[in-house]
Amino acid sequence: MTGYTWSISAGGTITAGLGTNTITVAWNTAGAQTVSVNYTNANNCTAASPTIYNVTVDAPTPVISGPTSVHMGTTATYTTPLVTGHTYIWSVVYGTYITCDLNCIIVNWPYFCDLQIPGQVTVTETDTSTGCTQTVTLFVTVNP
């Protein structure tokens, strides 16, 4: 077998190995996916049909734990379960990020005038082996 023709379902991108007997795929959609391969042999003949592999891509499922109601001028800690091989990016709206670690954030909820807008804590979790990401936001009532 000399030439390999690969195709994958719409949930991913081939990042390396086109034309070879091994490919690398970056999956960007969770769920049931497929990878198929066909080949051309030395006589320039291809298989009657490609070989199809079913793949299940798991997406991160972040959950933020922490208070949803706080008082202005206080701090609060928010966490998400730590998963090996995952990265976490935190962001805060109407609060100030202080510090913590990979799967947590300490937020200072300062005094501000517009009490009609809730604060927000957001985490984006990425599975470094698949490239899949998931983002979740927790809305926080900031009381005077």
Q: Is the pLDDT of residue 30 over 70?
A: yes
Same domain assignment for residues 100 and 44: no
Same domain assignment for residues 52 and 86: no
DSSP letters, 70-88, are EETTEEEEEE----TTEEE
Strand order in the sheet with 74-79: 74-79, 104-109, 96-99
**133 within a domain of the structure (yes/no):** yes
Same domain assignment for residues 73 and 139: yes
Q: How far apart are CA 101 and CA 56, in angstroms?
A: 30
pLDDT in tens, 94-123: 877 777 778 899 999 887 665 566 889 999
Contact 127, 59 (CB under 8 A): yes
Q: How many domains does the chain have?
A: 2
Contact 57, 63 (CB under 8 A): no
**86 within a domain of the structure (yes/no):** yes
pLDDT at position 44: 85
pLDDT at position 118: 81
Same domain assignment for residues 78 and 123: yes
Q: What proportion of the chain, given as a percentage, has pLDDT over 70? A: 94
pTM of the model: 0.64
As a whole number of angstroms, the longest Cα–Cα distance in the chain is: 79
Same domain assignment for residues 114 and 50: no
pLDDT top residue among 100 and 33: 33
Query: Residue 24: helix, strand or coil by DSSP?
Result: strand
The one-letter amino acid code at 40 reads T
